[in-house]
Amino acid sequence: MPRTGTLESKKNARRSSWKQNPQAVQENILRVAQEVFSRNGLSGARVDEIVSLTETSKRMIYYYFGDKEGLYRRTLEEAYRKVRQQEVELDLDHLAPLPALEKLVRFTFRHHRESPDFIRLVMIENIHHGTYLAQSDTIRELNRGAISQLERILARGKAEGVFRPDADPLTVHWQISAMSFFNVSNRATFSLIFGDALNSTAGQDGLETWVADSVRRMVVPSNPIS
């Protein structure tokens, strides 16, 4: 086994290199913090655990984030920033309205399905009644972008007679989020009560298609213009 001195030397060398790359330090801290906060909540998370998993120092965490609550708030911001950035990268403005909407719905469902830490963070913030989200102008601005993207898709669809004139971006966003979020947030209890079939690969693929079809039926008029 490696000697303690050797392990300490490697750890010190890594810390020294991180001092030259503060962005990498912060990204590493935030990545680990999301895992710890999503698993333990704000009150149960310990800065010492985050320190041990990042191999950085408590001093560096306090230097960049102020305190544990500041780190939690930044972790929330980073989680929302990532999903909104991925939505932008879908480049939906170059697609026809219906394919653009379906691509967005399927992306959201898959993102939530593959990001249980993100879902747990949002659940934890709801337990806190949105206290820390309310302190962040960054999160509010990021999420306005999500509605703006839907506004553009729906506006183009309405102009072409593809979507109902009363299709509301905020309502559509709520519907997409509700189904995609429930799929992860209630997975344990739903599976215990009704069985695990919907959590299989085939079950999840089927749900994704169902969600996409549900949103489409929600916005498409009964007699669309030909």
Residue 89: strand, helix, or coil: coil
Q: What is the pLDDT of residue 17?
A: 54
Single-letter amino acid code for the residue at 175: Q
CATH code at 1-66: 1.10.10.60
Two structure tokens written together for 5: 């001195």
Q: What is the pLDDT of residue 127?
A: 93
For residue 199, the 8-state DSSP code is G
Two structure tokens written together for 220: 């498409």
Q: What is the pLDDT of residue 90?
A: 93
In this structure, which topology does domain 75-226 adopt according to CATH?
Tetracycline Repressor; domain 2 (1.10.357)
Closest CA to 29 of 53, 11, 46: 53
Domain span(s) for CATH 1.10.10.60 in the chain = 1-66
Interhelix angle 116-127/68-88, nearest 10 degrees: 130
Q: What is the pLDDT along the chain (226 residues), one digit of tens a residue?
A: 445 455 455 555 555 555 667 888 899 999 999 999 999 999 999 999 999 998 788 888 999 999 999 999 999 999 999 999 999 999 999 999 999 999 999 999 999 999 999 999 999 999 999 999 999 888 888 888 889 999 999 999 999 999 999 999 999 999 999 999 999 999 999 999 999 999 999 999 999 999 999 999 999 987 544 4
Domain span(s) for CATH 1.10.357.10 in the chain = 75-226
